[in-house]
Amino acid sequence: MNKLQTLILAAITALTAAAAPLTLTSPDGHLSLTAGEDHGVPYYTLSRDGNVVLAPSRLGFTLSDLDLASGMKVTKSTRTGHDDTWTTLWGEDETIRNHYNELAVTYRGKRGVNMTVTFRLFDDGLGFRYSIPAQKALPDIVVTDEMTEFVLPADVPAWSIPTNRTIYYENLFTCDKLSAKDTVHTPLTIEAAPDLKLAIHQAALVDYADLNLTPRAGKDGAVRLLATLTPWQDGTKVKAGASLLSPWRTVIVAHNAGELITSRLMLNLNEPCTWDDTSWIEPGRYIGIWWSIHKKKYTWEQGPKHGATTANMKRYIDFAARHGFSGVLAEGWNYGWGEGETISFTKPYPDYDIEELSRYARSKGVFIVGHTETWGKSRLLEEQMEDAFAMYERLGIKVVKTGYVGAMLNGEELQHSQFGARHYRKVLECAARHHIMIDNHEPMMPTGLQRTLPNLMTQEGVRGQEYNAWSEDGGNPPSHTATLPFTRGLAGPMDFTPAIFNYRDEVVPGTRPQSTIAKQLAEFVVLYSPLQMAADAIESYENHPALSFIESCPTTWRRTVVPNGEVGQYVTIAREARDGSGSWFIGSLTNEQARTLAVLLTFLEPDARYIATIYEDGPGADYITNPMSMAIRQVEVGYGDTLTLNLARSGGAAIRLVKCN
């Protein structure tokens, strides 16, 4: 029998001994899962090479009129397997292997209601989801609580942002013991053991509430992480209707922090795109009238310092055309920024000639990035978006940056609630009809939906560059971008907007990027976004030597590897260009500690030679005393060579490797 036949055979074997725990192993045999019920309570466990990763952890729901978390009996289980490789439209890897063994366990609970939990065990972790089919005994499913648990056998440190002290996920990730935390957002990155890193998150949140985790100290030093869904204002969590299909709950299981970054488990658990035409979706770099507003040089609203003017925008378009940026953003182009103004997504301010600018941009081979700041009034966007997106399509506006600044959507529902999920998806679908890509600010935490809806290019949901303009705490600390790739970054692309070159003209004394300039470049590689913004004003880029790296750096990749990294300390990410050139780009950065990193070049083609152009911290570079010192060297390298990088305090290196002719 070949492998496929074996898998098929496994799939048609139904277990009947429901009382004994069901087991599942990963394709490579290292991970194993058990599932079943204990005194009627559904549960699962996860182990690696015989060691407990997750102790018995509860499953199930409390529905508005039914308890599906106790009194449950396994009635059926199905095993299957899957192994194929699919191609991404854009992203960190061109092809992704989707290789897992699956166990679907069906429980029967009170009133004879059926609920199935489907487990997929990959070599790099676990995903599981709930489905409740339409059934007469349960005509309308309203989730009041999801009872899912992730039980860590010990109270270990983890990286997280809190749910209840933040909106928009714009906090600094902190590392504490699990038991010391309040409810946290996912991804939750857990330092379970020196060779065991976990990341708990979710995949394919299509029509559901966002997942949060509440730690509770359990028995024997264990810590239970309780699923805590973001509620509707009526207190319910998910209004599912006749049937329910939850997002996948995911656990990446890695030997080191770098493996968290290269796991594609979340994407594998999203559905493929079914669109006929995706040719209009194009990753790229963009610039915009943005940082200068945060720096108080311009204003969003009308007035003597208005930023989004026709003349100013033409300067930006010219710069973009000259320097290979595909898009130019203008914030504050439309009515809705001044007091008393009616928000309109089609009516430009009088000093912003959108027709002329669109013509001009097109003539230069670039496009305008549209912007729809709703101030949280998602209803307004839903009302206007059909007309607005049709207008943008006509004008060649290929990307829209959406925004939802405001505590609640329409003052009524939380942004991370099922209400929010529905809104964000509606916008994506309407945008797709008009061939518009979306950069979603103040979003739902991403869950890999870009596989299904590949016009969901990038999202905020991260404490980004703008904090380096005006935050009262000096800006993002040096550890921040050494943490994000292992935490927020695991959820998908981040519109962090890296690459500030000009640290002068502080608007809050002492607040500026807390990094060397070489680290700003490294972030352009390290912080992944298919639409990557070079955030600074064009005046700061003009004639700047470091711009040459940004101009050359792709935003979609053939392959990504992580030669080294420790959460919050340092990381090196290497990515191969997807253009067939064989070029590689490496970003390496450190927190407030200077360090020397050795990057072993075993990812290069064995028989090729490469010229490495290395942008690194220069003589005396230091993020506090001398952030602008950058050194550049070129060395010829090949497979198996080691690049030694000396990173300053909060320093970095950005490297371009081009094949020798």
* Binding interface with a copy of itself (CB under 8 A): 322-323, 504-505, 542-549, 551-552, 611, 613, 615, 618-619, 626, 628-636, 656, 660-661
When the beta carbons of 395 and 499 are compared against a copy of itself, the nearer one is: 499
When the beta carbons of 359 and 633 are compared against a copy of itself, the nearer one is: 633
When the beta carbons of 353 and 622 are compared against a copy of itself, the nearer one is: 622
**Catalytic hit among 466, 523, 576, 616:** 466
Distance between CA atoms of residues 551 and 544, nearest Å: 11
Distance between CA atoms of residues 660 and 337, nearest Å: 52
Q: How far is the CB of 22 from a copy of itself (least distance, A)?
A: 55
Tell me the residue type at 18.
A
Q: How many CA atoms lie within 13 A of 359 on its CB side?
A: 6
When the beta carbons of 426 and 544 are compared against a copy of itself, the nearer one is: 544
Tell me the residue type at 11.
A
Map residue 484 onto helix, strand or coil: helix
By DSSP bridging, strand 31-38 and strand 95-108 are unpaired
Distance between CA atoms of residues 630 and 620, nearest Å: 9
Q: What is the DSSP letter of 351?
A: T
Q: How far is the CB of 655 from a copy of itself (least distance, A)?
A: 12
By DSSP bridging, strand 652-659 and strand 584-590 are antiparallel
Distance between CA atoms of residues 453 and 519, nearest Å: 32
The helix or strand, by DSSP H or E, that contains position 616, with its residue range, turns out to be: strand 609-617
When the beta carbons of 498 and 565 are compared against a copy of itself, the nearer one is: 498
Q: What's the gap between Cα 521 and its chain centre?
A: 20
Q: What is the DSSP letter of 623?
A: T
Q: How far is the CB of 551 from a copy of itself (least distance, A)?
A: 6
When the beta carbons of 407 and 660 are compared against a copy of itself, the nearer one is: 660
When the beta carbons of 123 and 506 are compared against a copy of itself, the nearer one is: 506
When the beta carbons of 125 and 307 are compared against a copy of itself, the nearer one is: 307
CA distances 532 to 95, 285, 368, 529, Å, are 21, 5, 14, 5
Q: How far is the CB of 545 from a copy of itself (least distance, A)?
A: 4
DSSP for 196-235 reads EEEEEEEE--SSSPPEEEEEEE-GGG-EEEEEEEPPPTTS
Q: How far is the CB of 633 from a copy of itself (least distance, A)?
A: 4
Distance between CA atoms of residues 12 and 22, nearest Å: 15
Q: How far is the CB of 553 from a copy of itself (least distance, A)?
A: 9
When the beta carbons of 110 and 595 are compared against a copy of itself, the nearer one is: 595
The 10 Å Cβ neighbour count of residue 19 is 8
Map residue 478 onto helix, strand or coil: coil
Q: How far is the CB of 502 from a copy of itself (least distance, A)?
A: 9
The helix or strand, by DSSP H or E, that contains position 244, with its residue range, turns out to be: strand 244-245
Q: How far is the CB of 495 from a copy of itself (least distance, A)?
A: 24
Structural contact between residues 360 and 321, judged by C-beta atoms closer than 8 angstroms: no
Q: How far is the CB of 147 from a copy of itself (least distance, A)?
A: 54
Map residue 581 onto helix, strand or coil: coil
Distance between CA atoms of residues 499 and 485, nearest Å: 16
Active site residue 466: yes
Task: Characterize 530-543 residue by residue with b for buried, 16 or more Cβ atoms within 10 angstroms of its Cβ, and e for exposed.
Answer: bbbbbbbbbebbee
Distance between CA atoms of residues 637 and 658, nearest Å: 10
Active-site residues, by number, are 466
